[in-house]
């Protein structure tokens, strides 16, 4: 298996080189040169596997034996050993048609832990085996940063700098990132929004001289290994839901940077028979507008009750567009240039029909989000976080009769108490979260100014 850039100007790479490259050197995103297909018989065999065993089976299609099996197995076991449940991503049945895949049982109570615990282990492994300097640079709307920091804090040979939008993450997210006092962690709190933070890091990764000199590595879903690790729970969910061999299965995914749902798209291309992939967003509804009209146009940024999805420029949209245009890098590059120069792109005709076959999408309004939380608490005694509530609202909009819907619970409600208290629900915080409120914070507040951020990075990486 080789990996290539969506823009077509990078020599095919192996697995580890792809992990280290992060953003492709031509400014595109890395994708597999060919998507491996899993047969129906193999899928049936996988039903009895544990999460860790399933992970190893799926990832083996991509790693080219570059990592000995025993080493990979050890990394996977270590990654999931500190989850609070042995199933890693347990399934909660709400009623006859709705299942919730709980992705928040890792150290930072959000779905990002599932991929980032593994990535922390992988970077540590590469650093030791290849004597590589690993200087992670990431942007977050709150959850990626916390999970990435947890994944690598205190690890030898690794430093991590995370940019988060100042005042635009929840209190618990801020505390999870900034109460970490390991010397290999730097939190930059940037005046701006998540899109601004993501743009700065993409610009720095695209500056190959800077990237090389400072050994910059990506932990965002820019990095293909994030996408790959996230495909595992699509398989796990599908294979562990009752009736999945008789009924159509739809999966509803709270979405922002389009990484999670792109992992679902990849799982489907690998042969997982998902029926509808449902994109759930909040009022930052660029993805809903794209699916309904074919126009992809970043609009005005809106702060909502689901702040982790307050994103207008969805990074992984480029990966999907690449497949939509028939894996034609020239066409893809032309679209991306148009987005740069004209601020929007449009797909029409057969391409738009294909988009509408691939996805359904709903942008959930703030009041609908709160009403959904209140409804599920009242009717089922099940407390949703606001991102998951958007996912459930979209499930309700698109799940047909006799279909099963799996909604991904991407975060624990305790991370977003600001929204939950608005509907007078009092929740008990888990002890790990309660403890954060007593700890000192470490962060540097900076303007949204690339030069200032570069100065901070140079001082931190110390090269
Ligand atoms: C809790 C939560 N839900 C949903 C999302 C959206 O996921 P993605 O960016 O992969 O689309 C995020 C952020 O990524 C998140 O933190
Ligand atoms: N919601 C995310 C945004 C970054 O997404 P990623 O999947 O590219 O890391 C966050 O919590 O930071």
Instruction: Give me the sign of the Cα torsion angle 17, 205, 265, 280.
Output: positive
Q: How far is the CA of 145 from the centre of ligand 1 (A)?
A: 12
| ipTM attached to this prediction | 0.99
d(CA 134, CA 214): 9
pLDDT tens figures, 295-347: 999 988 999 999 999 999 999 999 999 999 999 999 999 999 999 999 999 99
pLDDT band at 230 (very low <50, low <70, confident <90, very high): very high
- Beta bridge mates, 277: 251, 359
Which protein residue has the closest C-alpha to ligand 1 atom 15? Answer: 308
Q: What is the pLDDT of residue 245?
A: 77
d(CA 140, CA 117): 16
Contact 351, 376 (CB under 8 A): no
Q: Is the CB of 387 under 6 A from ligand 1?
A: yes
- Beta bridge mates, 251: 277, 406
Contact 32, 52 (CB under 8 A): no
| Sequence-separated (6 or more) residues with CB below 8 Å from residue 377 | 383, 384, 425
Q: What is the pLDDT of residue 242?
A: 81
pLDDT band at 462 (very low <50, low <70, confident <90, very high): confident
List alpha helices for 241-316, DSSP H: 259-269, 286-293
Mean pLDDT calculated for residue range 69-89: 98
Q: Is the CB of 410 under 6 A from ligand 1?
A: yes
CA distances, 136 to each of 18, 36, 202, 217 (Å): 15, 29, 13, 5
pLDDT tens figures, 241-264: 987 778 999 999 999 999 999 999
Contact 444, 191 (CB under 8 A): no
pLDDT band at 153 (very low <50, low <70, confident <90, very high): very high
Q: What is the pLDDT of residue 280?
A: 98
Query: Ligand 2: which of 29, 30, 109, 112 to mutate, most ligand atoms within 8 Å of CB?
Result: 112
Mean pLDDT calculated for residue range 150-166: 96
Q: Is the CB of 142 under 6 A from ligand 2?
A: yes
Q: What is the pLDDT of residue 317?
A: 97
Mean pLDDT calculated for residue range 117-137: 96
Which protein residue has the closest C-alpha to ligand 1 atom 9? Answer: 257
Q: Is the pTM of this model over 0.95?
A: yes
Query: Ligand 1: which of 255, 258, 361, 364 to mutate, most ligand atoms within 8 Å of CB?
Result: 255
Mean pLDDT computed over every residue of the chain:
97
Closest by Cα among 313, 248, 237, 320 to 281: 313
Q: Is the CB of 315 under 6 A from ligand 2?
A: yes
Q: How far is the CA of 257 from the centre of ligand 2 (A)?
A: 6
Which protein residue has the closest C-alpha to ligand 2 atom 5? Answer: 257
168 is catalytic: no
Mean pLDDT calculated for residue range 200-210: 97
pLDDT band at 407 (very low <50, low <70, confident <90, very high): very high
Q: Is the CB of 152 under 6 A from ligand 1?
A: no
Mean pLDDT calculated for residue range 3-10: 98
């Amino acid at each position: 298996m080789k990996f290539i850039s969506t823009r077509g100007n990078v020599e095919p790479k192996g697995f580890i080189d792809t992990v280290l490259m992060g953003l492709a050197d031509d400014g595109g995103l890395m994708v597999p040169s060919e998507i491996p297909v899993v047969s129906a018989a193999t899928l049936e065999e996988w039903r009895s596997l544990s999460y860790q065993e399933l992970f190893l089976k799926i990832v083996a299609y991509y790693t080219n034996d570059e990592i000995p099996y025993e080493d990979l197995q050890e990394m996977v076991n270590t990654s999931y050993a500190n989850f609070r449940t042995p199933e890693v991503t347990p399934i909660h049945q709400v009623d006859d048609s709705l299942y919730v895949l709980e992705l928040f049982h890792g150290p930072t109570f959000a779905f990002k832990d599932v991929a980032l615990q593994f990535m922390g282990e992988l970077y540590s492994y590469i650093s030791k085996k290849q004597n590589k300097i690993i200087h992670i640079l990431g942007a977050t709307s709150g959850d990626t940063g916390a999970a990435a920091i947890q994944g690598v804090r205190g690890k030898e040979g690794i430093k991590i700098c995370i940019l988060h939008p100042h005042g635009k993450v929840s209190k618990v997210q801020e505390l999870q990132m900034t109460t970490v006092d390991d010397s290999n962690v730097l939190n930059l709190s940037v005046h701006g929004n998540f899109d601004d933070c993501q743009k700065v890091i993409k610009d720095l990764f695209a500056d190959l001289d800077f990237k090389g000199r400072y050994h910059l590595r990506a932990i965002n879903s820019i990095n293909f290994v994030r996408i790959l690790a996230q495909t595992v729970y699509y398989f796990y969910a599908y294979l562990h839901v009752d009736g999945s061999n008789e009924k159509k299965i739809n999966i509803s995914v709270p979405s922002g940077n389009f990484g999670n749902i792109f992992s679902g798209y990849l799982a489907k291309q690998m042969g997982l028979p998902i029926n509808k992939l449902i994109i759930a967003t909040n009022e930052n509804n660029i993805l809903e507008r794209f699916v309904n009209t074919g126009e992809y146009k970043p609009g005005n940024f809106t702060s909502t009750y689901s702040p982790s999805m307050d994103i207008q420029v969805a990074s992984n949209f480029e990966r999907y567009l690449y497949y939509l245009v028939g894996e034609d890098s020239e066409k893809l590059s032309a679209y991306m240039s148009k987005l740069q120069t004209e601020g929007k792109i449009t797909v029409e005709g057969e391409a738009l029909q294909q988009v509408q076959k691939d996805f359904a999408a709903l942008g959930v309004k703030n009041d609908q989000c709160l009403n959904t939380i209140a409804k599920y608490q009242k009717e089922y005694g099940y407390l949703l976080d606001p991102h998951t509530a958007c996912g459930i609202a979209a499930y309700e909009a698109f799940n047909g009769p006799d279909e099963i819907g799996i909604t991904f619970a991407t975060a624990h409600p305790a991370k977003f108490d600001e929204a939950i208290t608005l509907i007078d629900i009092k929740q008990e915080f888990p002890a790990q979260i309660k403890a954060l409120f007593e700890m000192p914070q470490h962060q540097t507040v900076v303007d949204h100014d690339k030069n200032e951020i570069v100065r901070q990075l140079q001082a931190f990486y110390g090269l």
